[in-house]
């Protein structure tokens, strides 16, 4: 009987170890691909969920309908960067997160979280997120006021990386 209990305990421990080694922590969320000189959106459901929370938290009443990945040059450093943007129907509001090209994959990762999301609103042209020396700014080429909101979502808990915590939450 004692031998059978030891065997069961050993098998349970072995199963738990195998299960834990099979659980690989993610370091990034693939949100798109660069194919044939085009940025193709992938599954951005978690980013949409996050943006919904950002909009609600900041009491911004817009419905995002247009999504795309954009490559842009930093206005001051002139370095190329990538962002995933969401806009409402008439493009009077835009929200963005920085994403990173990794081979042909476009990824949202820990650096994306630390940079935060930027939203700009106020007019249909000339009021959108961009970067100047790596910081979020809003272009302000419109005649009305262009509002900027920066939201940092540095997710973390005691047992995961920031991106893993983000993926578990959203």
State which residues form the domain around 90. Answer: 28-169
Confidence (pLDDT) at 72: 95
Domain total for the chain? Answer: 1
Does residue 158 or residue 117 have the better pLDDT? 117
Q: How far apart (Å, rounded) are the C-alpha atoms in residues 86 and 99?
A: 13
9 lies in some domain = no
**Backbone φ, ψ for residue 26 (5° rounding):** -80, 145
pTM equals 0.79
Question: Angle CA(96)–CA(86)–CA(73) in degrees, nearest 5?
Answer: 45
pLDDT at 120 over 60: yes
87 lies in some domain = yes
36 lies in some domain = yes
22 lies in some domain = no
Q: Strands, DSSP E only, in 56-113?
A: 64-73, 80-88, 93-102, 105-109
2 lies in some domain = no
User: Sorting pLDDT into bands at 50, 70 and 90, what band is 5?
Assistant: very low
129 lies in some domain = yes
| 87 in Cβ contact with 66 (< 8 Å) | yes
> For 41-53, how does the pLDDT look when each residue is reduced to its tens digit (9 = 90+)?
999 999 999 999 9
Instruction: Return the DSSP state at 159.
Output: T
155 lies in some domain = yes
Confidence (pLDDT) at 31: 96
Q: List the structure tokens of 73.
A: 């040059």
User: Sorting pLDDT into bands at 50, 70 and 90, what band is 166?
Assistant: confident
Q: How far apart (Å, rounded) are the C-alpha atoms in residues 95 and 127?
A: 11
Averaged pLDDT for residues 98-107: 96
pLDDT at 112 over 50: yes
Q: How far apart (Å, rounded) are the C-alpha atoms in residues 33 and 51?
A: 21
* H-assigned helices in the chain: 2-22, 45-57, 110-115, 162-169
Phi-psi region of 103 (alpha: psi -120 to 50; beta: other; left: phi over 0): left
Bridge-based pairing state of the strands 117-121 and 147-151: antiparallel
8 lies in some domain = no
| 106 in Cβ contact with 40 (< 8 Å) | no
């Amino acid at each position: 009987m004692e031998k059978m209990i030891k065997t069961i305990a050993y098998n349970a421990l072995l199963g738990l170890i195998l299960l834990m080694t099979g659980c690989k922590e993610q370091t990034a969320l693939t949100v798109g691909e660069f194919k044939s000189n085009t940025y193709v959106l992938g599954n951005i459901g978690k980013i949409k969920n996050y943006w919904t929370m950002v909009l609600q938290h900041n009491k911004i009443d817009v419905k995002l309908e247009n999504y795309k990945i954009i490559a842009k040059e930093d206005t001051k450093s002139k370095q190329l960067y990538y962002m995933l943007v969401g806009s409402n129907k008439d493009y009077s509001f835009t929200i963005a997160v920085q994403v990173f090209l990794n081979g042909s994959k476009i990824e949202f990762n820990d650096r994306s979280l630390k940079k935060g999301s930027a939203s700009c609103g106020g007019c249909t042209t000339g009021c959108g997120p961009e970067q100047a020396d790596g910081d979020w700014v809003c272009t302000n080429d419109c005649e009305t006021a262009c509002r900027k909101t920066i939201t940092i979502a540095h997710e973390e808990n005691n047992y995961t990386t920031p991106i893993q915590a983000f993926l578990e939450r959203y």
